Structure 1
Amino acid sequence: MNVYEAIRTRRSIGRVKKDPVPREAVERALEAASWAPSHFNTQPWKFIVMTGEGRAKLGEGYALVAAPSFEGLSAEEREEKLAKERAKAFRSPVVIAAVCSPSDDKRALFAEELAASHAAVQNLLLALHAEGLAAIWRSGDPMYDPAMKRPFGLSEREQLVGLIYVGYPDMDPPNVTRKPASDKTVWIEQ
């Protein structure tokens, strides 16, 4: 698959089969992710790959984030809701937490470190697609809550930039259209 085909055909697919994903395929995709550009070559990304019961780490994070909103409920209701939060981590056989781990290089701005980490996630998504795998980049409020960092042992400086759920597709890719690049491009030639 060439890069243009990969870019045009990759879709976010959230419904995947429970079938195991070969570790080698994930490792190849992570290697591709590591070739993302970064200012001053800081390579500020790291990846936490969760499979099997290892996904419970993410489930713990979801529960920690949600727990304060369940105060005042009975113990039974609270545990039921926390179980649903923990189950979110098991929606795919592989979950990859992508982390921006900023370098100590004083020249590197945090915004650029984040941008580089996001570029690494895009490389990861394209490589997973080339491996015949489905993936979806999830984010949202729980990911940015400081409590989500605890199960992963992240420092205060580190930031989750994506939770990538990976597996074999269990649905057809959605039909998506894009506006032509010419609609969003300005050429300045003089």
Structure 2
Amino acid sequence: MIFDLIKKRRSVFPVQYNQESISKEAIEKILEAANWAPTHRKTEPWRFKVVQGDKLEELGTFVAEKYKGTTDKYSDFKYKKIKQKFLQSNCVISICMQRDVQERIPEWEEIASTAMAVQNMWLMATDLNIGSYWSSPALIQYADKFFNLAEGEKCLGFFYMGYFDEELPEGKREPIENKVEWL
């Protein structure tokens, strides 16, 4: 049931991943789920860059070096942690948004549509028992220096993925009644 899957979805962090490989078929299924997100005027703004294998180390080093070269408060611990997140993941998908060149709709709607695509990815990964986590570090502003981004395309974050062994905690939310006003 979809409601049970929604409630089961959790952020599973790279430190929790084991070394089991994610098949290309599973990644394609996750991406196909993203492709069915709602989209105003059918702009389908989501774009993804799939990073695996040696490219994970290369991307991790790139992001860590950008951190080192741009921060006023350098920490060797943080530098290593940035690199490690990529190395602990079996797959990292760069989440990008391609702005409609005609700008027929507000940019926030295309960002929202891309976020819905990521929610679909997260739900599909959950269904496949693949842990995942969306991170949008400030360093994504340099993504165009690593990825070949098209004009009007911007990186919104990284979607880290990996299988995991541990039991995840049950989710907790405040009652919906606290967040709704009936008129």
The answer, yes or no, to whether TM exceeds 0.5 is yes
2:171 counterpart of 1:186: no
Cα distance, 1:88 vs. partner?
3.1
Match of 1:164 among 147, 159, 165: 159
1:91 maps to which of 88, 92, 103: 88
The answer on 1:175 being equivalent to 2:155 is no
Cα drift, residue 114 of structure 1: 0.6
RMSD: 2.4
CA distance in 1, matches of 2:88, 2:44: 29
- What is the distance in 2 between the residues matched to 1:70 and 1:159? 22
Please state how far the C-alpha of 1:59 moved relative to its aligned partner: 1.6
Q: CA deviation at 1:53?
A: 0.9
Structure 1 residue ranges without an equivalent (≥5): none
- The residue type paired with residue 10 of structure 1 is R
Unaligned ranges ≥5, structure 2: none
Q: Percent identity?
A: 31
- Structure 1 residues 84 and 6: CA distance shift in structure 2, 3 A: closer
Counterpart-to-counterpart distance in 1, 2:31 and 2:143: 22
Conserved? CA contact 1:35–1:120, under 8 Å: yes
The secondary structure found in structure 1 opposite 2:146 is: helix
Farther-moved stretch of structure 1 (151-160 vs 113-122)? 151-160
Answer whether contact 2:86 2:92 (CA < 8 A) is retained: yes
Instruction: Give the Cα separation in 1 of the matches to 2:82 and 2:11.
Output: 22
In the other structure, the counterpart of 1:118 is 115
TM-score with structure 1 length normalisation? 0.84
Whose radius of gyration is greater, 1 or 2?
1
Q: What SS does the corresponding residue of 2:31 show, helix, strand or coil?
A: helix
TM-score by length of 2: 0.87
